[in-house]
Every structure is written in structure tokens, then in C-alpha cells.
Amino acid sequence: MNIDTIKVELIDWITQLDDQQAIKKLLRFKKKFSAPEIKPDSKVYGSGKYLVEFISEDFNEPLDIFKGYEK
């Protein structure tokens, strides 16, 4: 079945609907799939809030987990 044929069939079916709840469900479905996508490269301000839990007194002090890599 061609995609355009499916679209026309769906449009015909929607125009014949009389059930208010079914129409409202279709509208919610449309809004869900029509919502703008958040691009991975776009900034979401405040998304890092509370991400840092602890900062050492001496910020430049070497971390214990990297001791094996030191010369």
C-alpha cells in the first residue's frame, strides 16, 4: 500500500469520526508526535544543576584514582 493512499484513508476515517473522546485521543497523539525535538547540541540551561556533589578544598590536588598512571 502506498503511503499517500494510507494518508488519504486515515483522513477519510478521521472525518467520519463522531466520538468526542476518540477525537481528543487523536489530538493528543498528534501533539505528542508534533512536539519539537530537542537537538543534542542545543543547550538546556539549568540541566547541570546539582550535578557537582563535592569539590575538594585543594581543587588541583591529584585524585587517588589516577595514582596508577603517575610516573
**How many domains does the structure of the chain reveal?**
1
For residue 6, pLDDT over 70 is answered with yes
pTM above 0.75, yes or no: no
Compute the average pLDDT of residues 37-63: 79
Residue showing cell 563535592:
54
Question: First CA to last CA across the chain, in angstroms?
Answer: 67
Q: Which residue range forms the structural domain that includes residue 8?
A: 3-36+46-69
Residue 41 lies in a domain: no
pLDDT at 34: 82
28 falls within a domain? yes
Q: H-helix or E-strand containing 8?
A: helix 3-15
Note the pLDDT of residue 38: 67
pLDDT digits (tens, 9 = 90+) for 24-39: 999 998 888 887 776 7
* CA–CA gap between residue 54 and residue 48 (Å, rounded): 14
